[in-house]
Structure 1
Amino acid sequence: MTETGDFILQTQGLTKEFKGFTAVNGVDLRIRRHTIHALIGPNGAGKTTVFNLLTKFLTPTRGTIAFNGRDITPAKPAEIARMGVVRSFQISAVFPHMTARENVRVALLRKLGTSFHFWRGERALAPLNDRADELLAMVGLERFREAVVADLPYGRKRALELATTLALDPELMLLDEPTQGMGREDVELVTQLIRKVSANRTILMVEHNLGVVSTLCDTITVLQRGAVLTEGTYAEVSADPRVKEAYMGRAA
């Protein structure tokens, strides 16, 4: 029997209503520690709303959220970020007119609690360069550390976003459509990077690309109309006729 401590994040009866419309309806999630877990479903299934509830950008109408056994339902977004729950947004969240290294350095300053000191002189910030360069190397951007982000290809920008997320030293990473809008080459790059950075971390991701999901994810939760339709491995959920009808058949 699995102990509660095996799960880093759990929800019970998670529900969100908007003026009579139920966007998320009684969702129970259990995210196992040190795994990659996907949340999938057709458009309008409630995936992004669940992410917004988990990261506290929305407040549940009912239900509870627990992280490492602690009830975080009333917590604010900044509080859960400090606990180690960090979200990477669907749109690349980097500073386009700064270099790749400068972007990672800003994230490191935020982790240190000195994010408003980015105006300090280069000499004062230099000690962060080594760690910034380590993170850039982890995502394959060592050659691009002095490149202005606006000049980077889209896939490299998403790789940089992973580096800035890692700079916050997350225990749980929530990735929102990490391969959206990418060509095949960039999808393969980012898929490899997600696998690499998942070591000793837990990842919960919303992803439409079923090839990515089948390659990366240990467990898949399928949502339909705001509720959990089924859950299991990719082989299990893809064989479920309800899933084929609701999602898989339309995305083949």
Structure 2
Amino acid sequence: MADVILETRQLTKEFKGFTAVSGVDLRVERGHIHALIGPNGAGKTTCFNLLTKFLAPTSGRILFNGRDITAARPAQVARMGIIRSFQISAVFPHMTVLENVRVGLQRRLGTSFHFWRSSRSLDGLNGQALALLGEVGLENFADTLTADLPYGRKRALEIATTLAMEPELMLLDEPTQGMGHEDVHRVTELIRKVAAGRTILMVEHNMKVVAGICDRISVLKQGAVLAEGSYAEVSGNPQVMEAYMGTADGELAGARH
């Protein structure tokens, strides 16, 4: 039997008569990279917001490791190990790369983030921070001001700060959005690398990325699950192809080759 880390049961979110997420049943298996895809307006980001408790569902349930977290608050969910990287790079631009990762590592001290603490008092975290930077290929950028990093490297830094929070489940929201081909390749390989021994749920528009690294894919259309399975299964589904017509159909077909 599959080891399911995250499950939703009939998850629904309505906004004044408009149903953004409609009866979604999702099962994310431990150790998998699971993608949530669909045309614009399909409900992917709303679904992410429900999972991380930035929105409360209208109905349905969310279970993490078998525990009902439907009523949990965002901070509680984060402490349980569900950590989200945002669509727009969420790093501190006027801190160095190393300092950004240390902010994430402060969680391991069992205290809140202490922005007022002297940098010397946090030097004990440097070894761990450098190890994480090495994991994402940023060890040579430790002393670089984050604002001076190229866009793709900033996304790598964001993944490093997410890893610093010791996630059991990483939620990646459009990790390759707005990137050129070289950065897309670098970040895709980075996701593949950091996925070892971890579970990742990602929203991603780039079908070549999805085809290359994802174990399982859930396709949303108008807030509901249209299809689910491997990339080969969903890309060959006539309903999925129709849903992408005029938007990402060419990408979907092209990613097979």
Partner amino acid, structure 2, of 1:34: G
Other-structure match for 1:222: 219
| 1:201/1:107 CA distance change after superposition, 3 Å | same
CA distance in 2, matches of 1:14, 1:201: 24
How many residue pairs match? The answer is 249
CA distance in 2, matches of 1:103, 1:235: 39
CA distance in 2, matches of 1:119, 1:44: 41
Other-structure match for 2:102: 105
Matches within 5 A, 1:101-250: 101-247=98-244, 250=247
Other-structure match for 1:19: 16
CA distance in 1, matches of 2:96, 2:81: 26
CA distance in 1, matches of 2:150, 2:113: 29
Q: 1:107 touches 1:115 (CA, 8 Å); kept in 2?
A: no
CA distance in 1, matches of 2:89, 2:245: 27
CA distance in 2, matches of 1:74, 1:150: 37
Q: 2:98 touches 2:129 (CA, 8 Å); kept in 1?
A: yes
Compute the displacement of 1:121 (Å). Answer: 2.5
TM-score, normalised relative to structure 1: 0.96
CA distance in 2, matches of 1:21, 1:144: 46
Partner amino acid, structure 1, of 2:176: T
Q: 1:52 touches 1:58 (CA, 8 Å); kept in 2?
A: yes
Other-structure match for 1:8: 5
Compute the displacement of 1:117 (Å). Answer: 2.4
Unaligned runs of at least 5 residues, structure 1: none
Other-structure match for 1:81: 78
Other-structure match for 1:68: 65
CA distance in 2, matches of 1:171, 1:211: 26
Other-structure match for 2:37: 40
Deviation digits for residues 77-128 of structure 1, max 9, x if unmatched?
A: 0001000000000000000000000000011113433344232233321110
**What SS does structure 2 have at the residue aligned with 1:200?**
coil
CA distance in 1, matches of 2:239, 2:49: 26
Displacement over 2 Å in runs of 4+:
110-123
CA distance in 2, matches of 1:98, 1:22: 41
**What SS does structure 1 have at the residue aligned with 2:247?**
helix
CA distance in 2, matches of 1:127, 1:172: 26
Deviation digits for residues 199-226 of structure 1, max 9, x if unmatched?
A: 1110000000000000010000000000
Q: Quick check: 129-138 or 119-128, which moved more?
A: 119-128
TM-score, normalised relative to structure 2: 0.95
**What SS does structure 2 have at the residue aligned with 1:90?**
coil
Compute the displacement of 1:248 (Å). Answer: 6.4
Q: Percent identity?
A: 72
CA RMSD of aligned residues (A): 1.1
Partner amino acid, structure 2, of 1:15: T
Partner amino acid, structure 2, of 1:114: T
**What SS does structure 2 have at the residue aligned with 1:162?**
helix
Compute the displacement of 1:250 (Å). Answer: 3.2
Deviation digits for residues 28-66 of structure 1, max 9, x if unmatched?
A: 000000000000000010000000000000000000000
Structure 1 residue 55 corresponds to structure 2 residue 52: yes
CA distance in 2, matches of 1:109, 1:224: 39
Partner amino acid, structure 2, of 1:128: L
Compute the displacement of 1:249 (Å). Answer: 6.5
Q: Quick check: 159-168 or 121-130, which moved more?
A: 121-130
